Structure 1
């Protein structure tokens, strides 16, 4: 199975324009993400999919691979699908471009599940530890069945805890693995009703009968959404550049 890791990297951002190029201890963020992803043992290739010449040049300057994609894509999956038209593979992993501490081990674990369920989309979840995150609509929750298959994703606190027992809630991590044929069909489907209500594209897959397998991890996704988040990541790195 040939697996390609794709890192979407848009230049435009309402809160943080040019975010992929922001320096973290002397390195552009996109370089830190790229280098972490390249540690994966399961990926045959890693590519940055961008809509901006400066990002493409920055990636090529540190020896990475980048391709230009359209600027009008509505979702990361749409951008991955354009990459799939240019780079042939059996499976594509969509990796967030604003998580400079992403763990290669998580990508490898994701691919082990993919090999066992080759027709399924695969993603990940982690236990929500902060109570405030349960009601935070920016923290997407996921509910899975006994077979680790996703039942629903929501910005609300699901499941609703009517019984009052100690309920564990899971945060959905924005890491996806798509079989080539599923990715191609997925982006051709119209936005579904639940997707439009929650503004969560993965609900389009569930509403159309696709299987999403979810692995559990202790990895805490630390994304960079604002310039202030850069300082947080640098503190986690101990102020020392990772090489």
Structure 2
């Protein structure tokens, strides 16, 4: 099965402009994301950075990374990925992984996990990942997205609210899962998803995956039992990841 990775990299982030090109250990953030994908066993020729800005293209010229210039008008990374699939004329059966461009220390084992899960479960139109949610602070935090799973890993809903809630024991988090923003789709499902306009629930919760569920698309979820660090949304996030990577590099060096 043909597997591609597309990494959306928008220059104009409202909270941290230019973050794909911020430097970590002498390399841009986006370079590190590509390296994690390569560590997962994805060949360089199957990894693509999708950007809307010439500055990112120029900055990556010396790194032997495939970069595709996409439209400035896209409302989401999924739309950007869909354009790359169209530009490259990928067939409907090609599996495309959407790896976020602001996660330079995403575990390569997570990428391997969702790839294997997707290939083993072709009945799911979209696949994504969760980790067990283990503390009440995260459970009540609206910035932590919760995934509610049914049988066989099928997603029932995603929400910013506390869910699922054990009525008899509100402190019970045994079914609580934190959603991780990594997705895989066959190109046919990607086209279908991008044919829909923004959904009412999606707009309400500000969660794009609700558009798919509202239109009856089937999302499968794999549970990853490792640690998935938070990505880079703010300068504090960037400084925290820089510290983690420096400490790790020092230990390994």
Under TM normalisation by the shorter chain, which class is it?
over 0.9
Report the secondary structure of 1:67's partner residue.
strand
Q: Distance in 1 between matches of 2:228 and 2:207?
A: 20
Counting only pairs closer than 5 Å after superposition, residues 1-243 of structure 1 correspond to structure 2 as 1-42=1-42, 45-87=46-88, 88=90, 90-120=94-124, 121-164=126-169, 166-168=172-174, 169-217=176-224, 218-239=226-247, 240=249
Secondary structure in 1 aligned to 2:5?
strand
Q: Structure 2: give runs of 5+ residues left out of the alignment.
A: none
Per-residue CA deviation, residues 185-240 of structure 1 (Å, 9 max, x unaligned), is 11001222221211111111111111111111123232111122222112222343
Aligned partners of 2:6, 2:227: CA distance in 1, in Å?
20
Q: How far 1:6 sits from its partner (Å)?
A: 0.5
RMSD value over aligned CA atoms? Answer: 1.8
CA-to-aligned-CA distance 1:97-141 (integer Å, 9 cap, x gap): 000001222111111111122242110001223421212111110
Secondary structure in 1 matching 2:115: helix
CA distance in 2, matches of 1:167, 1:158: 9
Secondary structure of the corresponding residue to residue 171 of structure 1: strand
Give how far 1:42 is off.
4.8
Mean alpha-carbon deviation: is it higher for 61-70 or for 123-132? 123-132
Structure-2 separation of matches of 1:126 and 1:231? 24
With over 3 angstroms needed to count, the CA separation of the structure-2 counterparts of 1:190 and 1:34, relative to structure 1, is same
TM-score computed with the length of structure 2 as normaliser: 0.90
Q: Distance in 2 between matches of 1:72 and 1:18?
A: 17
- Please identify which structure carries the higher helix content: 2
Distance (Å, rounded) in 2 between the aligned partners of 1:59 and 1:219:
29
- Deviation larger for 69-78 or 154-163: 154-163
Give the stretch that moved more between structures: 74-83 or 156-165: 156-165
**TM-score, normalised with respect to structure 1:** 0.94
**What is the number of residues matched between the two proteins?**
243
8 A Cα contact 1:173 1:221, kept in partner: no
Residue aligned with 2:75, SS: coil
Counterpart secondary structure, 2:48 = strand
